[in-house]
Amino acid sequence: MFAKDPEKMESFLGSDCDFKGDLKVKGTLRVDGRAEGSLDADCVILSESAGVKGDIQGRRIIIGGRVEGTLKAQERVEIKSKGRVLGDIFSPKLVVLEGAEVMGKIETKKEEGKIIGVEFRSPAS
């Protein structure tokens, strides 16, 4: 039914959803509601209305809402202008848009252990 494109949204927690527990899915997971527990997907997208208390793991993580927990991405973490992260971030690439809030430790290391720069850009870019 769905193509094997990992960027295609395959799982969704709606804005009226309150989820408790650990969730592991293949493909992309979009969260508009509230979740308590760990989330693990190829790509995790939190909308501006989303709130998560727990760790998030994936290849790519996009934060538009609020997270209290550790973010671990294999490729990239992006925090949108209304995104709020209270926790540590581990990712080779990190994009933080103007207006976003981050409180925690940030590690942006490549696999060979070299520290790379953190990319910041304004909404006008």
The one-digit pLDDT tens for each residue of the chain (125 residues) are 334 454 566 888 898 989 999 999 999 999 999 999 999 999 999 999 999 999 999 999 999 999 999 999 999 999 999 999 999 999 999 999 999 999 999 998 766 555 556 655 555 54
Tell me, what's the pLDDT at 42? 96
Name which of 101, 20, 11, 25 is nearest 54 in CA terms. 20
The whole-model pTM stands at 0.81
Cα 86 to chain centroid distance, Å, stands at 12
Predicted pLDDT of residue 38: 97
Q: What is the pLDDT of residue 10?
A: 80
| Interatomic CA distance for residues 80 and 39, integer angstroms | 19
Domain boundaries, given as residue ranges, for the chain: 9-114
